[in-house]
Each structure stands twice: as structure tokens, then as C-alpha cells.
Amino acid sequence: MDGFVIAVDRGRYTCVLAGAEHGVAAAELPMVTAMRARELGRKSVVVGDRVGLVGDTSGAEGALARIVRITERRSVLRRTADDDETTAEGRLERVVVANADQMVIVSALADPPPRTGFIDRCLVAAYDADVEPLLCLTKADLAGPEEVLGYYTELELPYVLNRPDSDLGALRALLAGRVSVLVGHSGVGKSTLVNRLVPAAARAVGVVSAIGRGRHTSTSAVALRLPAISGIETDPGWIIDTPGIRSFGLAHVSADSLLHGFPDLVEGTVNCPPNCPHTSDAADCGLDAWVAAGRADPRRLASYRRLLASRAGEGDQRGETDQRGPGEGDRRGPDE
């Protein structure tokens, strides 16, 4: 039987059978508890994986199936605890989710203010994983989005604005038919957004915890089926809620791939000398002239070079100055 992994907890994997969600309310999805078969060896199973199940797939209490196959992943979103691959934290690569189509980067416009350094990191990880990014700006009742959107104006980054009383129709339309992973710092309103999108989220998570015999919510990812949209037969999609994170290390992303997280700067490297490192002390780097000519925001170049320096292990990442909001200095690291 083909299954979809929606939660992982201490060696137990909660799955739904492929196709079982069609015509079934999200809160009523039958769930199968499984363990990984020995023949998989060291292959990890993560939320979002499409797997092959054998054994008792009835979902009855006490039933236990086995995962014997992991379907080739369409995408793999990864992160590390550090940027420097020479450190233990940088070598510890963690798969966040598999097979996501879209990364929804949740950022508050105030309380806490937006942290563009973190958003930039998420964009790098999304582009590297071949996952489409979507910026979701919450607490739009407290501040306007103009400065944040101005910072990303050259990217034509898709975005949605969310207020406590706003209609979620635009966001629901962008989530329909897709597996979307939500990432964001604690306090940006991600949990509130999840509960509005999936009113039965608390109950669904509780059922997953009971099946997995463990704790869930803030410590691991969980996939939640979006409720059907009234009058529309389109697949409503899935969202994968991740715990609030303080860091999004990029040691797994090569220096060359790092640039692709800044598509507004790519063309500026055409006139760079061969093997240009693009750092601030690089002789004749074309990026400086590109920015000086007004073709890119100087803050974007500064952010890119901070990531380059951090990846090279230069300086204390936690002590770097970053933007909590465009134009505002912050003495926290780029992830905080």
C-alpha cells in the first residue's frame, strides 16, 4: 500500500494511505502507525515522504505496519545548525521535509519586526531545494508591508498579507493542490495561522500524538490536511507545520548555489573576473558596480556577503549586525 508520512515520533511513523483523503474530512482521515523495516538500512524517513507499507494497514488501535520502500523524493528541504561545514553543527545536516512544493515563509510585520536576514536564508534554502517560496506577512494590522516588499521588489516574490480578521481566501488559493511547508520564528503568528487554516488542527495533532505515543507540536513537523473549499472540487492541499526555529544554517548549500538565493544579483556577476569570490575585499568584483548603478538594493548585497562570510567561518555569526526590518539595525545574528 502507498502511504504519505504525516508525522514522525521516536521510531514511529504516522501515515495516511494514498488516496484515502479524497472525499474524507481532514479530521476523519484514517491513520496508520508504522515502523521502518530493517531492509531500509540507514535511509531516514521524514514527514512528506511517500512510502510503501506492508503489514497491518487497518489503522486499528495497536496495529503496526512496516515501511519497506521510500519513493524517490521530488524535493528535499534541508538545514543545518551552522553555516560552516567544518564545524560539527555545520556537518549535521537535517532534512526538514520531503516532497514539498512550496515554502511559506511566515514573518510578522511587527511584534516581532521582520528579520530579512532570516527570510533571505529561507529563500536560499528554498531555491536550492527547488521549492517555490511564498512570503506570508502576518500582523498587517500593526504595520504596513511597504519596506519589506521594497527590499524584495527585484525578486517579484509572491506574497500575501494577513490580519487577525482578514479573509484567507487568497492564501487558500495558493495552497490548493500543493504540499506547503510553513517556516518562521516563534511569535510571528504561525500557529495562529495554522489554526485558522485548519480549524481541527489541535484535534488532528492530538490524534497524531496518541498514535505516535509521544509528544508533538512544538518539537517536530506535522502534515495537516487542509479542509475542502466549499463549492470547489480542487484538491485543497496539505500544509506541513514546523516548530518555530531560531536558525537556518546553510552549510549544505555550495557557495555557487548561495548566489541563486539572490537572483537580483546574479546578472551583476557577469563582469566578475574568473573565480571571483564576490566578497567585499574581492578585487574588481562586478557586484559593487552593479549596486552602485542602482540595479540592486545595497542591503541585498550586504546580506549575501554576510552569508558568504558566515559560511567561510569568518567572525561570530551571532554577533553580526542584521536587519530586523529594512533599514533598522539589529545586534542579533541573521537567524534570530
Q: What's the N-to-C CA distance of the chain in angstroms?
A: 42
CA 248, CA 185: separation in Å to the nearest integer?
Answer: 10
Extract the annotated binding site for GTP: 138-141, 184-192
Contact (CB, 8 A) for 96 and 122: no
Contact (CB, 8 A) for 183 and 103: yes
Specify the pLDDT at position 322.
Answer: 43
Matching residue, cell 538594493: 297
Tell me, yes or no, whether 332 lies in a domain: no
CA 192, CA 72: separation in Å to the nearest integer?
Answer: 33
Do 97 and 147 have their domain in common? yes
What separation in angstroms does the CA of 198 have from each of 176, 194, 225, 332?
13, 6, 8, 33
Specify the pLDDT at position 126.
Answer: 94
As given in the structure block, the three cell numbers for residue 320 are: 553580526
As given in the structure block, the three cell numbers for residue 322 are: 542584521
Instruction: Record the pTM.
Output: 0.86
113-153 pLDDT, tens digit per residue, is 999 999 999 999 999 999 999 999 999 999 999 999 999 99
Do 92 and 201 have their domain in common? yes
| Largest separation between any pair of C-alpha atoms in the chain | 67
Tell me, yes or no, whether 249 lies in a domain: no
CA 247, CA 238: separation in Å to the nearest integer?
Answer: 24
User: DSSP readout, 275-326?
Assistant: T----TT-TT-HHHHHHHTTSS-HHHHHHHHHHHHHHTT-S-GGG--EEEET
As given in the structure block, the three cell numbers for residue 246 are: 531560531
Give the CATH number of the domain where residue 8 resides.
2.40.50
Do 65 and 98 have their domain in common? no
Type of residue numbered 88: A
Do 296 and 209 have their domain in common? no
Q: What is the mean pLDDT of the chain?
A: 84
Extract the annotated binding site: 138-141, 184-192, 272, 276, 278, 285
Domain end: 70, 96, 127, which one?
Answer: 70
Give the CATH number of the domain where residue 266 resides.
1.10.40
Domain end: 70, 85, 102, which one?
Answer: 70
201-244 pLDDT, tens digit per residue, is 764 444 444 444 444 344 578 999 998 877 667 788 999 998 86
Closest Cα partner for 7 from 27, 37, 24, 32?
A: 32
Tell me, yes or no, whether 144 lies in a domain: yes
Tell me, yes or no, whether 113 lies in a domain: yes
| Residue 207 backbone phi and psi in degrees, to 5 | -65, -40
Do 35 and 114 have their domain in common? no
Do 89 and 64 have their domain in common? no
Tell me, yes or no, whether 119 lies in a domain: yes
Total domains in the chain come to: 3
Burial class (CB in 10 A: 0-12, 13-18, 19+), 232: exposed
Do 84 and 233 have their domain in common? yes
Do 156 and 208 have their domain in common? yes
Average pLDDT over residues 177-194: 91
DSSP 114: P
Extract the annotated binding site for Zn(2+): 272, 276, 278, 285
Range of the domain at 66: 2-70
Tell me, yes or no, whether 325 lies in a domain: no
Do 192 and 93 have their domain in common? yes
Do 84 and 225 have their domain in common? yes
Give the CATH number of the domain where residue 122 resides.
3.40.50.300
Q: What Rg value do the Cα atoms of the chain yield, rounded? A: 21
Domain end: 70, 86, 115, which one?
Answer: 70
Instruction: Give 268-272's long-range contacts (Cβ < 8 A, gap of 24+).
Output: 268/295, 268/296
Backbone torsion region of residue 294, taken as left when φ is above 0, otherwise alpha when ψ lies between -120 and 50, otherwise beta: left
Q: Decide if pLDDT at 90 tops 80.
A: no
Do 232 and 83 have their domain in common? yes
Closest Cα partner for 160 from 182, 186, 179?
A: 182
Tell me, yes or no, whether 328 lies in a domain: no
10-38 pLDDT, tens digit per residue, is 889 999 998 766 656 555 678 899 999 99
Do 236 and 268 have their domain in common? no
Tell me, yes or no, whether 190 lies in a domain: yes
Instruction: Name the least confident of 197-201, 266-270, 286-290.
Output: 197-201
